[in-house]
Structure 1
């Protein structure tokens, strides 16, 4: 089942194949792969864009290198916390990240995510392939509202990239971003 239509420039597309326990998320960003990759791996930048605007975020650990791990928590206004953790299996700068992803509310539903950063000539297409252990786990994730969080997080990332570019003093922005 598809939750979106055809791919449109700079819109987040979320696709679930009918017979596979997988979700594919695609989004184009108006920044080169180095900047988008850094936004995915620098905890100070991740903190600024990951997840919905209505939640605050705390990063307990974020070691984005092959063999590293992460844990972060999103917090709602009422104090409800949503924890997430995983392991970075492969981090290939500006190209690819392979990691596990676990929502601590459902600790048995671990997914394997591969994120690709494709150079579109100064722009970047990010493709996330998330593989779950069952169709039920995939459908549960889709019903959780993850699509709203992913789309809003991607919008926040696009805003961060645009803001950093407009504040830049050189070709790669402040501190190489």
Structure 2
């Protein structure tokens, strides 16, 4: 099973790294195709409601993760988390976007995703998340976002395996 690493770099940024058993184009497609994105974004037992998904340079997105009351057996109480943002650059091997969380409006996060080819048709994904302030970065790190991202990427592994069939 692949491992996601999370490294604090500076006061406002975290770098996440993960390798996938899929080509970079496939991993990027899973980030830019609404139907694929909905298969892996959010915790197990949740549903993704997409209101807007324009994954191209200059496009926008708006989606809500809807979690039922602990259906996944993880003790979660359920809830909704709405995210919206803009795509600043979507080109082969790279996505740059900003996003905001409804519960924390006015605190945009800048993310740069880089999809690198590895031997054997594999992909290394690097994500640099830069938060609006040191306090916002501290809060995100303390919230356990790493565990949520790990679960998303496990689900992405599963979605990519299905695509390969």
Work out whether the TM-score is over 0.5.
yes
Instruction: Say which structure is richer in strand.
Output: 2
SS in structure 2 at match of 1:157: helix
> RMSD value over aligned CA atoms?
1.3
Q: For this pair of structures, how many residues does the alignment match?
A: 156
2:117 and 2:144 map into 1 onto residues whose CA distance is 29
For structure 1, the residue ranges without an aligned partner over 5 or more in a row are 1-8, 168-177
Partner of 2:135: 136
In the TM superposition, structure 1's runs of 4+ consecutive aligned residues that sit over 3 Å from their partners are none
Partner of 1:150: 149
1:75 and 1:51 map into 2 onto residues whose CA distance is 8
8 A contact 2:43–2:67 mirrored in 1:
no
8 A contact 1:82–1:104 mirrored in 2:
yes
SS in structure 2 at match of 1:151: helix
Among 4, 10, 23, the alignment partner of 2:2 is 10
> 1:114-125 alignment to 2 at 5 Å?
114-121=112-119, 122-125=121-124
For structure 2, the residue ranges without an aligned partner over 5 or more in a row are 70-77
Could you list the per-position Cα deviations for residues 18-68 of structure 1 after superposition, in whole angstroms to 9, with x for gaps in the alignment?
x42001010000001111110010000000001211322111111000000
Q: TM-score of the superposition, structure 1-length normalised? A: 0.84
Query: Does 42-51 or 143-152 show the bigger shift?
Result: 143-152
Q: TM-score of the superposition, structure 2-length normalised? A: 0.90
Partner of 1:90: 89
